[in-house]
Amino acid sequence: MDTKTVKDVQYWKTFAGSLKIDARALIDGQSVDAADGKTFDCVSPIDGKVLAQVADCGEADIDRAVSAARRSFEQGVWAGLNPRKRKAAMLRWAALLRDHADELSVLETLDAGKPIGDTTSVDIPGAIYCIEWFAEAIDKVGGEVAPVDHHLVGLVTREPIGVVAAVVPWNFPLLMASWKFAPALAAGNSVVLKPSEKSPLTAIRVAQLALEAGMPAGVFNVVPGFGATGKLLALHMDVDCLAFTGSTAVGKQIMQCAGQSNLKRVWLELGGKSPNIVLPDCPDLDRAASSAASAIFYNMGEMCTAGSRLLVHRDIKDVFIEKLLAAAASYRPGDPLDPSTSMGAIVDTIQLERVLSYIESGRQQATLLCGGSRALEDSGGYYIEPTVFDVTDPAARIAREEIFGPVLSVLTFDSVDEAIRIANDSEYGLAAAVWTSNLTTAHEVSRRLRAGTVWVNCYDEGGDMNFPFGGYKQSGNGRDKSLHALEKYTELKSTLLRLR
Ligand code: NAD
């Protein structure tokens, strides 16, 4: 590509028009149709048009993928490689993905409706960085020599679990998938990935590129399909670990499936209803207001960490809401292929209807401050205006349930204790934020918040891989990102050698 090319809306539209999408499954190093020939339509939320026919994998396909993964694991073609070689293979793959970054970005935008400005700056580079980060860790993390009696040597080592299945959602299709497959592959496992039926295309393409980069057949398989396909993996007797990101309701079913089958290890990254608390001594109300807007409107609110409950102290409420509404106005639904667009499409009609029905319930139980309607209907796509409600009752549905759309509930409090009580009164515990100028208050409030991530005077910072990511309570168990994520794809082994 000529480096002087201007990547404007025309560039991306032309790119989109020239894509040749191969949406077959990738099993044992081959692109294949589902064994029974079944496919489903992959519809672009941008304009409602069909992008591709995707292989709809059933039992025969899952069995083939799992046995290819098992075979490659047992043969040691990946797990048995010198760690440096495994690292080199993953870095080669990451470099190839970088060469294909535009293609992957446009594919993600078409498939999930995300603005191209986001897929080019967050989703695709973030997934590549994740692969590189875990690749770099491969030859750095060793085991332990444990203190033990003199006649013994005690080794504590980590070994790959074996066959890891990953079942992932659609809000950051490739990024969420990479948080699973990158550490799982780095640890030496073989992987079977089931992307969401709403956004399967980048996962398939990335697996094709893994093969091109020299990853051995069977090590990384992609099996598109619906929930039933994910359930087959959750019930499979030869899957050793299932790493899931998605809704709390499905997470519970997956745990049950593990209990009904082989007690596979289950790691769950689930939903959230995260509180964002603004205290009266907030150091910068303008920044807090624009942060509160991006916490809920970035990625159309399709964020597990969305700051969907904004808790504002009564003393600053009026002035804060004024600033918030001004910030919200900068999120306007537009053509996702236009680099100037800040808000794209909702992923599909099911999610569109779900969000609109929550807005309807909000109209009954709260006061609408802005938005509340569908937008750009003429495009054929699925767009919703940024929407803010003033909610007096924290028990209102919109203030308790995860909406996963651009809908913000503003709640009012009079004391720090009340704010913490409201914040923690949730089945979820994924993330939280507090805005204050007082260092002691910042530490005390963050300690009392029951959440896996707490931001102080910011929201959604920390794109680095170094921080573990995951939830308390029904937001899940286990952590993605960081070396803690690497651990969860290994078994811990104690080896005791008697010297005499
Ligand atoms: P979902 O639970 O409906 O689906 C997630 C995946 O599970 C999809 O691939 C789906 O096909 C599959 N699935 C559905 N039913 C299944 C079953 N019975 N057995 C096995 N697999 C099944 O979630 P979604 O709508 O795709 O994603 C939105 C949810 O994901 C939200 O709740 C959001 O908070 C959560 N999420 C969490 C994180 C996190 O890191 N905590 C990140 C992103 C999204």
What mean pLDDT do residues 174-194 have?
Answer: 98
Domain 9-270 architecture: 3-Layer(aba) Sandwich (3.40)
pLDDT band at 215 (very low <50, low <70, confident <90, very high): very high
481 CA to middle of ligand 1, Å? 18
The answer, yes or no, to whether residue 2 has pLDDT greater than 70, is no
Mean pLDDT of 154-174: 98
The model's pLDDT over 59-101, given as tens digits with 9 standing for 90+, comes to 999 999 999 999 999 999 999 999 999 999 999 999 999 999 9
DSSP string, 237-306: TT--EEEEES-HHHHHHHHHHHHHTT--EEEEE-----EEEE-TT-S-HHHHHHHHHHHHHGGGG--TT-
> Does CATH number 1.20.1050.10 belong to domain 275-464?
no
Over residues 395-412, the mean pLDDT reads 98
Residue 10 has what pLDDT?
97
pLDDT mean over 199-221: 98
pLDDT of residue 277: 98
Q: What is the residue type of 278?
A: V
Please identify, by atom number, the ligand 1 atom nearest to the C-alpha of residue 225: 11
Residue 64 burial by Cβ neighbours in a 10 Å radius (0-12, 13-18, 19+): buried
pLDDT tier for residue 327 given thresholds of 50, 70 and 90: very high
Residue 214 phi/psi, 5-degree rounding, is: 105, 15
Distances (CA, A) of 245 to 230, 249, 263, 440, 488: 11, 11, 18, 35, 14
Mean per-residue pLDDT over the chain, rounded: 97
Considering the chain, what percentage of its residues have pLDDT values greater than 90? 99
Is 180 close to ligand 1, i.e. is its CB under 6 Å away? no
Distance of CA 137 to the CA centre of its chain: 21
Is the pLDDT at 462 greater than 90? The verdict is: no
Q: Which pLDDT value is given to residue 318?
A: 98
Can you tell me the mean pLDDT for 312-322? 98
pLDDT-derived band at 369 (thresholds 50, 70, 90) equals: very high
- CB 196, CB 302: distance < 8 Å: no
For residue 447, the model assigns a pLDDT of: 98
CATH 3.40.309.10 domain residues, the chain: 275-464
* Reported confidence tier of residue 146, pLDDT bands at 50, 70, 90: very high
Q: pLDDT digit string (tens) for 390-401?
A: 999 999 999 999
Q: If you average pLDDT over residues 425-443, what whole number do you get? A: 98
Q: Whose CA is nearest to atom 30 of ligand 1?
A: 246
The amino acid present at 428, given as its one-letter code, is Y
Say whether pLDDT at 4 is over 80. Answer: no
* Distant-in-sequence, close-in-space partners of 84: CB < 8 Å, separation ≥ 6: 138, 139
Q: How many CB atoms lie within 10 A of CB 497?
A: 10
Length of the chain counted residue by residue: 500
Are 224 and 194 in contact by the 8 Å Cβ rule? The answer is yes
C-alpha 376 – ligand 1 centre gap (Å): 27
- With a 6 Å cutoff on the Cβ, whether 452 touches ligand 1 is no
What residues does CATH 3.40.605.10 cover in the chain?
A: 9-270
Which of 132, 197, 269, 385 is catalytic? The answer is 269
pLDDT in tens, 465-489: 999 999 999 999 999 999 999 999 9
CA–CA distance, 147 with 203 (Å, rounded to integer): 44
Q: How far does the centroid of ligand 1 lie from the alpha carbon of residue 246, in Å?
A: 2
**Threshold 0.95, pTM exceeds:** yes
- Say yes or no to pLDDT of 160 above 80: yes
Active site residue 269: yes
Q: Confirm or reject: Cβ of 294 under 6 Å from ligand 1.
A: no
User: Is the Cα torsion angle 43, 45, 51, 52 positive or negative in sign?
Assistant: negative
Locate 399 and state its tokens. Answer: 């203030």
Q: Does residue 387 have a pLDDT over 80?
A: yes
Distance of CA 26 from the midpoint of ligand 1 (Å): 21
pLDDT of 3 reads: 61
Give the pLDDT score at 5.
Answer: 86
Q: DSSP H helical segments within 19-100, as ranges?
A: 59-75, 83-99
Q: Which of 245, 269, 481 to mutate to test the pocket of ligand 1 (most atoms within 8 A of CB)?
A: 245
Ligand 1 atom with the shortest distance to the CA of 480: 40
- Distance from the alpha carbon of residue 243 to the mean position of ligand 1, in angstroms: 11
